[in-house]
Amino acid sequence: MDIADVLKHTSPDLFLPDLQATDKPGVLVELVQGLVAGSPTISKQDAVLQMLESREALGSTAVGPGVAFPHGRTLAVQKLTVLIARSKAGVDFDSVDGEKTHLFFVLIAPPQDSGHKYIKSLAALTDRLQDDALRQRLMEADDFDAFCTALGGD
Amino acid sequence: MHPELQKLVLLQDIEANIREAEEQGEELKELGFNLDGLNQLKERAEAMAGEINPRHLAYYRRLTRRFGHAVVPVIDNLCTGCFANIPAQFVSATNENLLQKCESCGRILYWP
Ligand SMILES: [Zn+2]
């Protein structure tokens, strides 16, 4: 699976270029609000939020340099859905390296996604986001299209 | 939504994420994810199970053993467990104080 495949699961409505929350719980709420607002088939905000919070208990998903990948499976979604968000100021998301997190790629999948499509998507994203210059361009991208072009480029 | 259903959904979601950490753990660790909190997550699942009416929990466990998933979403008026049609009057009753079961397969129904 490559980045172009991953991007099929997101949309301009699932892009939050300027997160306002300043701490981890607040960011999780803002991300979930974005999912509900941006996806016509997701309505159960509490269920999604509780699942993502539980997933963070397993270990912080802020594993990339300045990047977090909150993810998990929930009955509240019907298909793999990807939300992309950005915090200009950065947030303490309990990252592995102790640095602030600026970019968020949220991947949520239904329980019956047996092909583990979302783990493959996670693999494509975590690999791509290792690139320092790319992350810089993503921070500067003006809109969703510019963001995706940078992310999808080689 | 029935409050008991909300708890069952969360329990099933947490259990799915536990199973994934166990089954796909090596793959996830290779991607850099740290799964040290597995026991903590199991404790959460146990705490959640403790809040559920024992009769409902036993039914949930029985369905999980039998089908893998006890709670299934209703999509386009179909039980996504067995694809039986769920009558419209069922849908309008979802907020009442009953756990809704598929009349055909018995799975617990959830309207996402
Ligand atoms: Zn059924």
Q: How far apart are CA A106 and CA A29, in angstroms?
A: 12
Instruction: Determine whether the interchain pair B13/A61 forms a contact, defined as Cβ–Cβ distance below 8 Å.
Output: no
Query: Which range marks the domain in which residue A28 is found?
Result: 3-152
Tokens 């909300």 appear where?
A: B6
Residues of chain A with Cβ-Cβ distance to B49 below 8 Å are: none
A 10 A CB-CB count for A144 gives 17
Q: Is B86 exposed, middle or buried (0-12, 13-18, 19+ CB in 10 A)?
A: buried
**Distance (Å) from CA B90 to ligand 1 centroid:** 13
d(CA A79, CA A100): 30
Polymer length of chain A? 154
User: What is the distance between the alpha carbons of residues A91 and A153, in angstroms, rounded to a whole number?
Assistant: 27
Determine contact: B36 vs chain A, CB below 8 A. Answer: yes
> What pLDDT is attached to residue B57?
96
Tens of pLDDT, residue by residue over A25-40, are 999 999 999 999 999 9
Closest CA to A124 of A11, A6, A9: A6
Residue A118: the pLDDT is 85
Residue A64: predicted pLDDT? 86
Please say if the pLDDT value at position A47 is more than 90. Answer: yes
Three-state SS letters, A98-139: CCCEEEEEEEEECCCCCCCHHHHHHHHHHHHCCCHHHHHHHH
Comparing CB atoms, the residue among B41, B80, B110 nearest residue A54 is: B41
Q: Give the list of residues 6+ apart from residue B23 with CB closer than 8 angstroms, or none.
A: none
Low-confidence ranges of chain B (pLDDT < 50): none
Task: Round to whole Å and give the CA distance between B69 and A46.
Answer: 20
- The two tokens of residue B56 are 């409902």
The number of domains in chain B is 1
Contact state of A75 with B13 under an 8 Å Cβ cutoff: yes
Cα–Cα distances (Å) from B90 to A51, A75, A104, in that order, read 27, 19, 39
Side chain identity at residue B40, one-letter code:
Q
Question: Residue holding tokens 């397969």?
Answer: B105
Query: What is the pTM for the complete model shown?
Result: 0.93
DSSP annotation of A11? -
Query: pLDDT for A58-85, tens place per residue?
Result: 999 999 899 999 999 999 998 999 999 9
Residue A153, pLDDT score: 78
- B47 shares contact with chain A (CB less than 8 Å): no
Higher pLDDT, A127 or A64: A127
Tell me which residue range forms the domain holding B31: 3-110
Out of A41, A54, A126, the one facing B17 most closely (by C-beta) is A54
Mean pLDDT of chain A: 94
CB contact under 8 A, A64 and B38: no
Pairwise CA distance, residues A26 & B46, whole Å: 26
Tokens 């960011």 identify what position?
Answer: A27
Cα separation of B68 and B41, whole Å?
A: 19
Give the pLDDT confidence of A96-120 residue by residue, as tens digits.
899 999 999 999 999 876 667 888 9
> Cα A120–A113–B4 angle (5° rounding)?
130
Q: How many domains does chain A have?
A: 1
CATH number at residue B94: 1.10.287.1490
For the domain that residue A56 is a member of, what is the CATH number?
A: 3.40.930.10
How far apart, in whole angstroms, are the C-alpha atoms of residue B13 and residue B8? 9
Quick one: what percent of chain A has pLDDT higher than 70? 97
> Which of the 8 DSSP states describes residue A64?
B
